[in-house]
Amino acid sequence: MEVSDAIANRRSIRKYTGEEVSDNDIKAVLEAGRWGPSGLNNQPWKFKVLKGKVKDSIAEHTRYGHIIEAAPACIAVFLDVENSYNRDKDLQAIGACIQNMLLRIQSLGLGAVWLGEILNQREKVEETLGVEHELMAVIALGHPGEEGSSDRKDMGELLLE
Ligand SMILES: Cc1cc2nc3c(=O)[nH]c(=O)nc-3n(C[C@H](O)[C@H](O)[C@H](O)COP(=O)(O)O)c2cc1C
């Protein structure tokens, strides 16, 4: 799939078929994240793949828990606090890393949604998962059970004179 097609056609997918996501596909998604750009190439991210009971254990910490439960897999993305050099730049790098993963998911014919509301209960999620890094997002992914829909502002609203 052309990158331009992945960008243009990607939409958040919040409903999934019951089909599992293969380990190979998850590995490919993590690889895409690993190759994200970062300031000083410090690669300030850590990933945790969540499936089954462990995945469902964090659902109670967000009002989007039903999406986590419905998804066959989630990837929790953390800021590697020991490897952080500039918070602003590290957060930007994490965003690029996550977008890389979303586009790879799209190119694999899978669907995903970036869950950020769960950060309201970040500490509870970190404790539940036993991870000593700062939660940045949870990506819920699976085989699409819906067509996403979203629109964008016109370019004219975005371009500054
Ligand atoms: C930082 C961030 C946090 C988000 N948090 C949530 C969330 O908690 N729940 C959710 O359903 N979607 C969440 N989204 C997905 C957005 O709602 C979605 O990207 C936006 O509405 C545009 O739709 P699209 O992804 O289909 O283009 C989040 C997206 C970003 C980038």
pLDDT tens-digit map of 65-80: 999 999 999 999 999 9
The confidence score (pLDDT) of residue 12 equals 98
- 3 state SS of 146: coil
- Is 117's C-beta closer than 6 angstroms to any atom of ligand 1? yes
How crowded is residue 90: how many other Cβ atoms within 10 Å of its Cβ? Answer: 24
Q: For a substitution probing ligand 1, which of 9, 10, 12, 99 has the most ligand atoms within 8 Å of its CB?
A: 12
- Give me the pLDDT at residue 22, please: 98
**Residue owning the nearest CA to atom 29 of ligand 1:** 114
**Is the whole-model pTM more than 0.75?**
yes
Mean pLDDT over the full length of the chain:
97
**Cα 143 from Cα 108, distance rounded (Å):** 10
Residue 2 is predicted with a pLDDT of: 94
Site to probe by mutation for ligand 1, drawn from 102, 114, 125, 153 as the one with most ligand atoms within 8 Å of Cβ, is 114
> Going by CATH, does the domain composed of 3-7+17-146 fall within 3.90.580.10?
no
Q: Report whether 1 contacts 139 (CB < 8 A).
A: no
Q: Is 47 in the pocket of ligand 1 (CB under 6 A)?
A: no
List, for residues 33-43, the tens digit of each pLDDT value. Answer: 999 999 999 99
More confident residue, 83 or 107: 107
